Amino acid sequence: MIEKIISGGQTGVDRAALDTAIKFNIDHGGWVPAGRKAEDGVIPSLYHLDEMDTEDYARRTEQNIREAQGTLIISRGHLKGGSLLTWELAHTLKKPCCHVDLNDMDEFGAAVMLQDFLRGWHIQVLNVAGPRASQDVGIYWSVKGILETLIFMEMMTQTPDGLPIEDTLLMERRAQSRCTTVEGAAKFMGKDLNLRTRCMLANLNQRAIGTVYFPLADTIKVKMGLDHGNTTLLAHCAKVAGVKRITPEDAAMVILKALKASLERDYVLRVVP
C-alpha cells in the first residue's frame, strides 16, 4: 500500500496525485521550484511541498525521482517535454518507472497496471508525474480516477463489517437532509449509528479512512443531497477542504472526516491507568 505520494505541484497530473493523497489521509510531499511557481501562479499552501533554491523545473523533477522509491508517469500518447525528461532521468538514476498511456487502456486497466508495478517493486513512496492541465484538460480527472481505483482495490478486502449501508434507491425516495454545514451533516450522519459502529469509526486508523469511505460515500451523497442541488453544503465542504470547487464524492469524504473527528471526542478507546 502507498505510504506517501510525491509530486511537483504543477496543475494536471501533479495536483490530482496530491489531492488524492490529501483526501485519503496519505502522506504527501515533493519539491517545487523556488517561489512555488506553477502555470496557474503560486502553488497553494494546502500542499506541503518543499522549495528548491532554483526555478528550474528539471532540478525539481530530478529531486522528486530521487526521493521516491518509484515513479509513475501518466499521459495520453507518447511522452514529451517534462514527462519525457522524467522518464529519462528515472532510467539514468536507475529508479523504477511505470508509464501509463491512456490511449492504450482505460482507468481501471491503468489502476491494475499500477498495482502490479507497486507490488512488483515493493514501492511505498510513489512519485507521480505527467502533463500539466494546459496540455491535457482532462488529465486531472483521469489521474484521480486511477489512483482512487487503486486505493479501492487495495482496501476492498479490509472493509469493516456492520457499516450502516442503505439501499440507494430507497434513500432517494425519502426526504433528503438539507444540512448546510459540514458539522451539521456529520451530526445527521452519526445520529443513527450504533455503539459498535461509532467506536469502530472513532478508533479507525487515519490512513484506513478508505475502508469506510468506499461503502459509505453513496449513502452520504444521497442523504445529504450532494448530487441533488445542496449547493450550500457543497460550498461549505469546499471551504473546509480549502479548495474553490468540490465534487460530491470529495465532499462526502469531508463529511466522513468530520464525523470521525466528532466521534473521536467520545468513543476513542483509552487505557485507564
Same domain, 219 and 115: no
Same domain, 212 and 231: yes
Q: What is the total count of domains within the chain?
A: 2
Same domain, 31 and 151: yes
Query: Residue 112 falls within a domain, yes or no?
Result: yes
Query: Residue 148 falls within a domain, yes or no?
Result: yes
Same domain, 216 and 178: yes
Same domain, 99 and 188: no
Three-class SS of 129-168: ECCCCCCCCCHHHHHHHHHHHHHHHHHHHHCCCCCCCCCH
Query: Residue 272 falls within a domain, yes or no?
Result: no
Same domain, 78 and 210: no
Where a domain ends, among 133, 157, 181?
Answer: 157
Query: Residue 38 falls within a domain, yes or no?
Result: yes
Q: What is the pLDDT along the chain (273 residues), one digit of tens a residue?
A: 899 999 999 999 999 999 999 999 999 999 999 999 999 999 999 999 999 999 999 999 999 999 999 999 999 999 999 999 999 999 999 999 999 999 999 999 999 999 999 999 999 999 999 999 999 999 999 999 999 999 999 987 777 766 765 555 445 444 456 799 999 999 999 988 889 999 999 999 999 999 999 999 999 999 999 988 899 999 999 999 999 999 999 999 999 999 999 999 989 866 555
Give me the pLDDT at residue 175, please.
43
C-beta separation of 97 from 71 below 8 A: yes
Backbone region of residue 9 per phi and psi (left: phi > 0; alpha: psi in -120 to 50; beta: other values): left
DSSP string across 85-120? HHHHHHHHTT--EEEEETTTS-HHHHHHHHHHHHHH
Same domain, 63 and 196: no
pTM over 0.85: yes
Where a domain ends, among 157, 187, 219?
Answer: 157
Q: Residue 27 pairs with which residues in a beta bridge?
A: 4
Residue 28: which domain range?
A: 4-157
Query: Residue 273 falls within a domain, yes or no?
Result: no
Give me the pLDDT at residue 143, please.
98
Query: Residue 29 falls within a domain, yes or no?
Result: yes
Same domain, 189 and 256: yes
Same domain, 142 and 210: no
Residue with cell 523504477: 96
Give me the pLDDT at residue 172, please.
47
Residue with cell 485519503: 24
The x, y and z cell numbers of residue 211, run together, are: 475502508
Return the SS3 of 79.
Answer: coil
Same domain, 43 and 140: yes
Where a domain ends, among 138, 157, 176?
Answer: 157
Same domain, 61 and 109: yes
Query: Residue 45 falls within a domain, yes or no?
Result: yes
Give me the pLDDT at residue 18, please.
98
Same domain, 147 and 218: no
Identify the CATH number of the domain in which residue 20 sits. Answer: 3.40.50.450
Query: Residue 163 falls within a domain, yes or no?
Result: no
